[in-house]
Structure 1
Amino acid sequence: MLYKNEIVVDNFAGGGGASTGMELGLNRKVDIAINHDPAAIDMHKINHPETKHYCESVWDVDPVEACAGRPVGLAWFSPDCKYFSKAKGRAPVNKAIRGLAWVAVRWAALVPMRVFMLENVEEFMGWGPLVEVSPGVFKPNKEKAGETFEAFIKCLTTGLIKNHPAWEEIKETLGHDFPYHKLEKGLGYKIEHKILTACDFGAPTSRKRFFLVGRNDGQSINWPNPTHGKAGSGLKPYLTAADIIDWSYPMRSIFDPDRSKPIAEKSLIRLGKGVQKFVIDNEDPFFVEPEMVVPFITEHANASNQRNMPIDEPLRTLCAQVKGGHFALVACSIVKYRGDNVGHKVDEPLHTISAGGNHLGLVKAYLVKYYGTGSVNTLNNPLDTITTNDRFGLVIIKGEKYQITDILTRMLQPHELFAAMGFPDDYQIAFDSNGKKNTKKNQVARCGNAVCPPIAQALVAVNLAKKHVEEIAA
């Protein structure tokens, strides 16, 4: 638990994922939130109005002045991860952003900070020096991977030797008037770190991240036990993409002739591979449950008066000779418009959401009973070629033959992505503090950069919540 007069600080606060988790874990507000992005701070203000907000660079906020003599019981650090992440590829590295984690050392050295937590990508453990490949262009030195991470840990714990090669970067980052003797001696923290996966703690995403916990109060560092798992694990079942999808949101056929521009060929190929994998070759596709869709039955018949019927009435008379059958199944999957990944099933946790843009979409394949003998295209070719065939996908489900009659797709919406990250249902994302509608790009950026609140909540609760501390002491 927090002691009297201790405060809670969220550096790199973003839209408020870590703050939300800390507040749930501690049952109290976050006192200080810092972020340089006005849009991020604005979303944080809407959802955390009692917090004092600094819309500034973390380097421009003086920890001593901000804390005003109050000790820090808990501080959270989520420095920008894109120049560590493998998703960045081989692009040049921004040296200043890559060194943002030194802010945690700055706070630990300048103010009484009892417990702190840091979140980043797994590759953070490989933090090492950079090499200048051309004027002003830097890339990681693979031969010295992990060297700077080691120095970071040494500064926080037992001290960094004077001739360590990381000193040049440290002094360049922290400035000339910093008390470096404290880092030579060591700040005395006990440090532990682990890789945690969000779906293990109740968020419907498979997002995996590095978490570090440091404390200098003599108490143990504790790690939360997973609460969710696969069937048969004895835990609660994983929440999945299906749990966060808004099934009422409209979708559009990939064959719609009124599209402002055609779907890119690469996207069509990706969609084709996904339908092949998750519908045609899948013995048990994910079908939309009746309560998740508008409950009516439509008749697919060659008649001048096609009927739509309520689902809660006896089924009308069916004609045995209607080509294609009368009612449809809807098989769904998730498509990922990035790299070589075609996506995944809907009954799995959603893959990691990116801050750089929304690359996740929902695909629906409509299937009807198949009675014909016409040619079938198995979707090995780009989907823009299949409109010449009247039957372009044959699916056998539990011995029954179906044909694909249409394929619809749409991008996942911000409110679905926030739900996938584990944000509360009432989290405000659609409008800014002036009542102006937030762009989807802005909403997705806040989500992709966020800490999953359930993991932050679990970490904080097991280390600082009163109930857990009392159990450990006993």
Structure 2
Amino acid sequence: MAGGGGSSQGIHYVPGTELVMALNHWRLAIDSHALNFPGAQHECCDISQADFRWFPYAEILWASPECTHHSVASGRKRIQLDQVPDENGEVLPVDAAERSRATAWDVLRYLERMILRGKPVLGGVVENVIDFQRWNLFEPWRKGFELLGYDIEIIHLNSAHAHARKALWSPQSRDRFYLGYVHRSVGRKPDWQKWLRPHATCPDHGAVRARQDFKRKDREPWGRYRTQYVYRCPRAGCGQVIEPLALPASKAIDWTIPAQRIGDRKRPLAKKTMDRIRDGLERYARHLVVPVEGRQGKQAKPLDEPTRTMTTRRETGVAFTPFIAELRGGASKHRSTTDPLCTVTASGNHHGLVTEGLAVPYYGTGRARPLSQPLGALTTVDRYGLLKAQIEVEDCLFRMLEPEEIGTAMSFREGYKLLGTKRERVRMLGNAVTPNASEILVSAVVEAITGEDIEPAAAPC
């Protein structure tokens, strides 16, 4: 089996698989991969120039071709960004910034070489960005698989909805294109739907396996979750739109890492970043994941939603309000989250994080409640006031996500080893495939090849 990045970790979770070889042009990435998979052969080379006659045979091939010129961020623009120093003054080496990953044609070249040996690759997966399918040579490239004897399946999957058996579920919204393929000599096709229907809850039917539904019925499926497709309840006569289960971004955050008050920073945050935090506070008044650079239209999001897509740059920060309200007793009313909590007593939890607006009853014995919950019974007396925490951006705490947190958001297991500077590690993570996605896709391929069922992930309790 050949593969690289996060895909190798995900593939490793599939029963009966063994990593044979991993290829990449970037020495640091290959050396990092070798630390985690010492038993496999590792090759650092210009893959476009590699002579596959001398490469080992793999029954399954995972490939993540070069994607920069398919991405919304053009290749040249990305290269320029890579050479801009980050907050630590770090830039990427040229081999990481300019050459990216293997080209799409090399996938077919390897498959053809193995067929000429008389041992066709039995199946595999190709991963890329969503816009890869809009490549002007996509149709002849896809046709190449069919001419080589493969049945193919075009898949659009968000990593947040890849419900793996063993890999961590990714608390990240990451839309990607996948092409699954199995050689016709296998005699079976993968049961893709078994692995691509995420767990969800229908208001009327409870726990279900949601079905993907593209909005445009007049063309081939393509696109991103919510924009071009949704998930629906599969029960007959229902079909209402439902939300697949997904982990919140907070699952990736190490809350023990200290942050700095924005107003105390020596290097002020960019105006756009400050504006995003203000907008996020206005909309959510709770912990936020904040994009500090990148494409237009990116907004701060609350931590109880999946993060934005992790790219090859360290461009996501965490902002949150810095005080605790003490609900009962004590000598103080509130204190900063940079200070210790007041004593936690046996009488109960009396520490409240001020994060959202409250509806406050000023008659009777009712309790204040967040606006995200229903109000108490409304009487003929006007009895509710609106309390909104007035939070200044300068008083929020802010820090960048650490590579280890980004690794968790990418579904990497704890303890996965990466070499290099922070920027280099983030680059490797942003270029990787989330292991939970590769696990479920390769599971479908392995089932078809072996004829043996693999049990998919059960719904979480």
Does structure 2 retain, via aligned residues, the 8 Å contact 1:228–1:238?
no
Aligned with residue 404 of structure 1, among 391, 396, 408:
391
Matched, 1:366 2:322: yes
Structure 1 residue 98 displacement after superposition: 9.6
Aligned with residue 454 of structure 1, among 418, 426, 436:
436
Matched, 1:100 2:103: yes
Does structure 2 retain, via aligned residues, the 8 Å contact 1:45–1:53?
yes
Q: Which residue of 1 aligns with 2:112?
A: 109
Aligned with residue 469 of structure 1, among 447, 451, 459:
451
Q: Which residue of 2 aligns with 1:287?
A: none
SS in 2 for 1:195: strand
SS in 2 for 1:41: helix
Q: Which residue of 2 aligns with 1:162?
A: none
Structure 1 residue 260 displacement after superposition: 3.0
What whole-Å deviation, never above 9, does each CA across 1:389-436 have from its counterpart, x for those lacking one? xxxx9963233633436211111111111101111112123xx3xxxx
Does structure 1 retain, via aligned residues, the 8 Å contact 2:61–2:123?
yes
Once residues 24 and 36 of structure 1 are traced to their aligned partners in structure 2, the CA distance between those partners, rounded to angstroms, is: 25
Matched, 1:353 2:346: no
Q: Which residue of 2 aligns with 1:272?
A: 278
What whole-Å deviation, never above 9, does each CA across 1:168-203 have from its counterpart, x for those lacking one? xxxxxxxxxxxxxxxxxx212111111011111221
Does structure 2 retain, via aligned residues, the 8 Å contact 1:363–1:410?
yes
Query: Matches of residues 207-286 of structure 1 in structure 2 within 5 Å?
Result: 207-216=174-183, 217-223=186-192, 224-229=195-200, 234=207, 237-256=245-264, 259-279=265-285
Once residues 367 and 65 of structure 1 are traced to their aligned partners in structure 2, the CA distance between those partners, rounded to angstroms, is: 62
Amino acid at match of 1:469: G
Matched, 1:47 2:36: yes
Query: Matches of residues 160-179 of structure 1 in structure 2 within 5 Å?
Result: none
Structure 1 residue 344 displacement after superposition: 0.9
Matched, 1:187 2:111: no
Does structure 1 retain, via aligned residues, the 8 Å contact 2:252–2:409?
yes
SS in 2 for 1:76: strand
Once residues 275 and 40 of structure 1 are traced to their aligned partners in structure 2, the CA distance between those partners, rounded to angstroms, is: 38
Question: How does the TM-score come out when normalised to structure 1?
Answer: 0.64
Judging changes above 3 Å, is the alpha-carbon distance between structure 1 residues 96 and 35 closer, same or farther for their aligned structure 2 residues? Answer: closer
Amino acid at match of 1:396: G
More contact order relative to length (CA 8 Å, sep ≥ 6): 2
Aligned with residue 416 of structure 1, among 405, 420, 440:
405
Q: Which residue of 2 aligns with 1:149?
A: 138
Matched, 1:124 2:85: no
Once residues 99 and 427 of structure 2 are traced to their aligned partners in structure 1, the CA distance between those partners, rounded to angstroms, is: 21
Structure 1 residue 125 displacement after superposition: 0.9
Once residues 226 and 24 of structure 1 are traced to their aligned partners in structure 2, the CA distance between those partners, rounded to angstroms, is: 19
Judging changes above 3 Å, is the alpha-carbon distance between structure 1 residues 155 and 467 closer, same or farther for their aligned structure 2 residues? Answer: closer
Judging changes above 3 Å, is the alpha-carbon distance between structure 1 residues 25 and 197 closer, same or farther for their aligned structure 2 residues? Answer: same
Judging changes above 3 Å, is the alpha-carbon distance between structure 1 residues 361 and 195 closer, same or farther for their aligned structure 2 residues? Answer: same
Once residues 90 and 443 of structure 1 are traced to their aligned partners in structure 2, the CA distance between those partners, rounded to angstroms, is: 21
Cα RMSD (Å): 3.0
Once residues 214 and 225 of structure 1 are traced to their aligned partners in structure 2, the CA distance between those partners, rounded to angstroms, is: 15
Once residues 116 and 149 of structure 1 are traced to their aligned partners in structure 2, the CA distance between those partners, rounded to angstroms, is: 18
Q: Which residue of 1 aligns with 2:384?
A: none
Q: Which residue of 1 aligns with 2:8?
A: 19
SS in 1 for 2:173: coil
Q: Which residue of 1 aligns with 2:73?
A: 87
Structure 1 residue 120 displacement after superposition: 0.4
Judging changes above 3 Å, is the alpha-carbon distance between structure 1 residues 25 and 398 closer, same or farther for their aligned structure 2 residues? Answer: farther
Judging changes above 3 Å, is the alpha-carbon distance between structure 1 residues 395 and 198 closer, same or farther for their aligned structure 2 residues? Answer: closer
Unaligned runs of 5+ in 1: 1-7, 129-147, 158-185, 280-330, 371-392, 433-437
Amino acid at match of 1:41: I
Does structure 1 retain, via aligned residues, the 8 Å contact 2:277–2:300?
no
Aligned with residue 53 of structure 2, among 58, 64, 70:
64
Judging changes above 3 Å, is the alpha-carbon distance between structure 1 residues 266 and 78 closer, same or farther for their aligned structure 2 residues? Answer: same
What whole-Å deviation, never above 9, does each CA across 1:118-166 have from its counterpart, x for those lacking one? 00011111111xxxxxxxxxxxxxxxxxxx1111122221xxxxxxxxx
Judging changes above 3 Å, is the alpha-carbon distance between structure 1 residues 411 and 213 closer, same or farther for their aligned structure 2 residues? Answer: same
Structure 1 residue 466 displacement after superposition: 8.7
Once residues 19 and 99 of structure 1 are traced to their aligned partners in structure 2, the CA distance between those partners, rounded to angstroms, is: 16
Judging changes above 3 Å, is the alpha-carbon distance between structure 1 residues 427 and 395 closer, same or farther for their aligned structure 2 residues? Answer: closer
Once residues 132 and 406 of structure 2 are traced to their aligned partners in structure 1, the CA distance between those partners, rounded to angstroms, is: 25
Does structure 2 retain, via aligned residues, the 8 Å contact 1:251–1:408?
yes
Does structure 2 retain, via aligned residues, the 8 Å contact 1:422–1:454?
yes
Does structure 1 retain, via aligned residues, the 8 Å contact 2:24–2:101?
no
Unaligned runs of 5+ in 2: 80-96, 115-119, 163-168, 209-243, 327-353, 361-367, 369-386, 455-461
Aligned with residue 160 of structure 2, among 199, 207, 220:
199
Amino acid at match of 1:83: H
SS in 2 for 1:246: coil
Structure 1 residue 467 displacement after superposition: 11
- Which protein shows a greater Rg? 1
